[in-house]
Structure 1
Amino acid sequence: MSALVRASHPEPTVAVTAVAMGLAVSLGRDGAGVAAVAVAVLSGQLSIGWLNDAVDAARDSLTGRADKPIATRAISRRTVTAATVVAALVCVPVSLASGVLAGTTHLLAVASGWAYNLGVKSTPFSVVPYALAFGLLPTFVVLGLPGSPPPPWWLPVAGALLGAGAHFANVLPDLADDAVTGVRGLPHRLGATGSRMAAGVLLLAASVVLAAAAPVAVFVALCVPVLAAVVLTTGFLAGRRDGSRAPFRAVLVVAVVDVALLLTAGHAVVA
């Protein structure tokens, strides 16, 4: 069970699920609605994480990834593949429990994650699934409200910017290993320095969009971009060490700060 959890990419899985739940609560969805969002997002993220490790099993073994349970034989690829299928099957009806439009939106987000794992990660368009999935995620939560109201423009835009920035930061520790196995997504083509710059610019842009557009106190809005800049600078400086995941953790922190900003807006998101 421990190996299965580690193969699911637990940090981003828990973070994304918590963000979706928090947004659902702040928008006033009832207990059943919040639970539906939580299970849908959790099952979708689990399917994406497990699929990633199942697809990359041979590459991870070739590069001796000690943090990958399949590569270390702590769990079999067959077991992780079976878990992927189960999570995907759970995700479909639970997503649709929020409504056909909202559920379809979430399933498109999950499909984007699957597309990344199944080949887009090795193309110049590797950032597109991240941007699409993270833009659709908050849209799914809002569309699940009574009447399926559309989200304000800045909500999916900020989500897409966060997702794109997360892509560049997430790949940084794996650039050397990916080069050995032939993976050449957009971050690999830009290199470590270019990817750090892209991640920083995208994440700061997300913070600025939220600070400028979300209906929150002026003081709070002014502080968020400054805090994001400090966190990102610290994380990327620490991330210059080979294999460091500090940039990705900095991304998660900034994402949490941005989401906290969003949650303070509450019902005004769809007012």
Structure 2
Amino acid sequence: MVPMGVRVRGLVVASHAGPTAVVTLLTLSLATGIEAGTLTTVLVTAAVLCGQLSVGWSNDWLDAARDARVGRSDKPTVVGVVGASELRTAAFVALAACVVLSYANGWVAGTLHVLAVASAWSYNVRLKSTVLSWLPYAVSFGLLPAFIVAAPDDGRVVAAWTVAAAALLGVGAHLANVLPDIEDDAATGVRGLPHRLGRRRVAVLAPLVLLAASVVILVGPSSSPGLPRIAFASLTVVMAVAAGVVGARWPRSRLPFGLSMGVAALCVVELVIVAPSVALPG
């Protein structure tokens, strides 16, 4: 019998807690930045949290057998802390809550977010093993700011550059996130875009895509970039170039992954800084 505390920690790990926390905090920051209102901000943030939990738990549920074959000891299902059936139940409960909370923000906003979550589920169910593995990340991340801006239902529309930057951020994060497990994934039949490109190309491409997101965030808003934005963008360039150089020269190093995730984190900070510019008058 697994102690309850251990089981709960297993559920947290299986939810992909890091990415879940980052996306949820980004949502909270953007909703606050556009002054969506207290109730809307709470509803939007809760909907995204539940959506992220459903995506993380469904990923580990659907990958349980594959993870066991390659001995992924970092996975709760492999070490026996949480069962695949428990993750399936948790995923569907979170998904149901996500749908209810999403539509509490209105039909338009709710549909945008449900589509984003459905896109993420499509990666877990099928697309992760195809050349289109990048597409759910582009769609889901791109729809996130659109959902946040639509939620207050005050006539404002999402800035096009925000959707583009978020989509690039999603694709770059996908490429970088695959790097540590690219051989294990390939050994179990996963043949997404990164696996087809190979470790060296992905180690170079991931930071470049994330750098493109940073550039869009820098030049997209109509306001002139202040010193903080320029500083973050400059640091992004340095880290992205370093990741690309190391990836090209030493593709098996873990440094490109760490640097790329650092670039992704900087892109998130840059988005938070320009949050008031995400929504435009209708």
Task: State the TM-score bracket (shorter-chain normalisation).
Answer: over 0.9
CA contact (8 A) 2:203 2:257 kept: no
Indicate yes or no: 2:24 matched with 1:33. Answer: no
Give, in whole Å, the separation in 2 of the partners of 1:73 and 1:136: 36
Give, in whole Å, the separation in 2 of the partners of 1:241 and 1:181: 22
Indicate yes or no: 2:274 matched with 1:262. Answer: yes
Residues 40-70 of structure 1, C-alpha deviation per residue, up to 9 Å, x if partnerless? Answer: 0000000000000000000100111011000
* Change beyond 3 A, Cα 1:242–1:158: closer
Indicate yes or no: 2:103 matched with 1:96. Answer: yes
Q: Any unmatched runs of 5+ in structure 2?
A: 1-7
Among 46, 49, 58, the alignment partner of 1:51 is 58
Aligned to 1:231: 239
| Range moving further from structure 2, 193-202 or 145-154 | 145-154
- Deviation of 1:251 (Å): 4.4
Aligned to 2:115: 108
Give, in whole Å, the separation in 2 of the partners of 1:244 and 1:125: 23
- Deviation of 1:30 (Å): 1.3
- Deviation of 1:201 (Å): 1.6
- Give the counterpart letter for 2:211 in structure 1: L
| Range moving further from structure 2, 252-261 or 87-96 | 252-261
SS for the counterpart of 1:184 is coil
* Change beyond 3 A, Cα 1:112–1:131: same
* Change beyond 3 A, Cα 1:251–1:5: farther
Name the % identity.
41
Residues 116-138 of structure 1, C-alpha deviation per residue, up to 9 Å, x if partnerless? Answer: 00010000010000000000000
- Give the counterpart letter for 2:270 in structure 1: D
| Range moving further from structure 2, 219-228 or 201-210 | 219-228
Q: TM-score, normalised by structure 1?
A: 0.92
Give, in whole Å, the separation in 1 of the partners of 2:145 and 2:96: 22
CA contact (8 A) 1:173 1:244 kept: no
Indicate yes or no: 2:21 matched with 1:14. Answer: yes
CA contact (8 A) 1:51 1:80 kept: yes
* Change beyond 3 A, Cα 1:67–1:243: farther
Aligned to 1:165: 172
Residues 201-259 of structure 1, C-alpha deviation per residue, up to 9 Å, x if partnerless? Answer: 21111111111111444343433321112333556649843698525632442232222
Aligned to 2:207: 200
CA contact (8 A) 1:211 1:224 kept: no
Give, in whole Å, the separation in 1 of the partners of 2:217 and 2:82: 41
Give, in whole Å, the separation in 1 of the partners of 2:205 and 2:29: 28
CA contact (8 A) 1:142 1:148 kept: no
Give, in whole Å, the separation in 1 of the partners of 2:273 and 2:254: 33
Q: TM-score, normalised by structure 2?
A: 0.89
Aligned to 1:246: 258
* Change beyond 3 A, Cα 1:19–1:261: same
* Change beyond 3 A, Cα 1:172–1:268: closer
**Number of aligned residue pairs:** 269
Give, in whole Å, the separation in 2 of the partners of 1:191 and 1:134: 24
Among 186, 189, 207, the alignment partner of 1:182 is 189
Aligned to 1:152: 159
Give, in whole Å, the separation in 2 of the partners of 1:213 and 1:178: 36
Among 127, 130, 137, the alignment partner of 2:134 is 127
CA contact (8 A) 2:162 2:278 kept: no
Q: Any unmatched runs of 5+ in structure 1?
A: none
SS for the counterpart of 1:195 is helix
- Give the counterpart letter for 2:280 in structure 1: V
Give, in whole Å, the separation in 2 of the partners of 1:31 and 1:192: 44
- Give the counterpart letter for 2:104 in structure 1: A
Residues 45-102 of structure 1, C-alpha deviation per residue, up to 9 Å, x if partnerless? Answer: 0000000000000010011101100011111111111100110010001001111101
Residues 143-186 of structure 1, C-alpha deviation per residue, up to 9 Å, x if partnerless? Answer: 11233432111110111010010110011111110111010000
